Amino acid sequence: MSRDQHKVLIANRGEIAVRIMQSCRDLNLAFVAVYTKEDAASGHVALARELGGEEALVRIHNYLDAGDILSAADAKGATAIHPGYGFFSENYRFARRVVERSRPMHFIGPSWRVIRDLGDKINTKRLARSLGVPTVPGSDRAIYDEMEAETIAQQLFDYQEKQGVARPMVLVKASAGGGGMGIDEVHNMNRFRQTYRRIRNYSQRQFNDPGVLIEQRIFNYNHLEVQIVSARGGDDPVHFGTRNCSVQSPGRQKRIETAPGFFPEGLSYSFDARKVMDDIVRHSLSIAREIKYDNVGTWEWIVTPKGDPFLMEVNTRIQVENGVSAAIARIKGQDGVNLIREQIRLGLGEPMGYSQDDVSFGGVGIEYRIIAEDTQNRFAPWTGRIEKIAWQQQDWLKMHTHVPKDRPYQIPTEYDPNLALAIIWGKDLEEAKARGAAFLDDFVLEGVDAQGVALKSNIAFLREKTKDLLEF
């Protein structure tokens, strides 16, 4: 089937739905968007109506109702589903259902087997170690024997002491747990056995599996990512550089992303920052080749103050911060890289059309996540009505938002209060930071809650953190 015969159902909302629509338009692809009652006033609904009319819209009950999504796809004759990020984007069972049902469609993402295999953190760690890729020190399988657990813990404490860690710590985690459940910290071996037994018993009760993972707890680090893109078949993956996501909320939610991951051209590091970036790219590509990764994905790393990189996990989806990597990339010398467009094109089975030698990089990109939140109150979400959102157009700025500019917008309490993404480009770090600061100073965001209290946002937090970007 040729590209212009496809129709993509966008199984998401907000900013990412807007960007998928725009990418479909660029590719001359038909699309259909879904929305819930709570999202009827969202800009993604308005854009779908503008670009495709009422035929391009389907109201559903819930973005997490697979039956709703697939029924909408069938009703509109969609040939592909783009899950965006979150929701079904890393659900291998949903991806498998999309491609193996009686009326199969394309899943715009990696194959379901890849999602399954890399979604298992233990499996990913084991695969990485088999390829010589450094991972967070600790076990790469569930531990069921108490003496083996103690041996691993002692090795981790010894390793941290050799690294000069002032306060060594080991994590004991229920291997079958998730979402922060069944995790405890141990500061010395005297407390380890008691903690191990408690977590083992908890895991048995909660998950019917007493397996436990033992890992080093790393506190002081930079969070780097490697952006990988590959066509179906996964034979020749290409990287689109590194980015630094170390500016986060106390809950470890990203707030600023910067590409590239370090800036050795203008900043001093206590390690060879260029080598670290080259190493994590090389390691990420080795895993992508081994598992035949076949779409867009992100390899997440932590880097210690001594420059030791450890692979944390692989995210088998497009990420919010894809645009900051695209901002510094060129394909065959051409600006305007759009990784969502690449994801759709490759997900429909088109060939890559370029190699790593065709990808070049220039400048520095900064992405700000603009969010209605109270940064003075543990970054608690703010709920209310956006009265005005405005910014000055610049050739070095890209804005992505689902918040309408021409009317007030009530933030739905059912969803997160992310309002916009701003992506700034500069020829170097100093210019990017200066432009970022100027953007934040001029950005207009006004609103009130139900009690008439003025909107709270993270603009001041972003402005403060801009000063020290990429410093370690």
Say whether pLDDT at 176 is over 80: no
Say whether pLDDT at 182 is over 90: no
Query: 97-101 — which CB contacts under 8 Å span 24+ positions?
Result: 97/66, 97/70, 98/70, 101/70
d(CA 141, CA 119) in angstroms, rounded, equals: 15
pLDDT digits (tens, 9 = 90+) for 54-96: 999 999 999 999 999 999 999 999 999 999 999 999 999 999 9
What pLDDT, on a 0 to 100 scale, did the predictor assign at position 179? 58
What pLDDT, on a 0 to 100 scale, did the predictor assign at position 122? 87
On whether the CB atoms of residues 224 and 303 are closer than 8 A, the answer is yes
Q: Given its phi and psi angles, is residue 132 left (phi above 0), alpha (psi -120 to 50 degrees) or beta?
A: left
Residue 145, helix vs strand vs coil: coil
| One-letter amino acid of 413 | T
d(CA 352, CA 454) in angstroms, rounded, equals: 48
Say whether pLDDT at 230 is over 80: yes
pLDDT digits (tens, 9 = 90+) for 98-123: 999 999 999 999 999 999 999 888 89
On whether the CB atoms of residues 342 and 440 are closer than 8 A, the answer is no
Q: What is the pTM of this model?
A: 0.93
Say whether pLDDT at 178 is over 70: no
d(CA 27, CA 90) in angstroms, rounded, equals: 24
Catalytic site residues?
A: 317
The predicted model gives 275-304 an average pLDDT of 98
**With pLDDT > 70 as the criterion, what percentage of the chain qualifies?**
99
On whether the CB atoms of residues 48 and 25 are closer than 8 A, the answer is no
What pLDDT, on a 0 to 100 scale, did the predictor assign at position 120? 86
Average pLDDT, the chain: 96
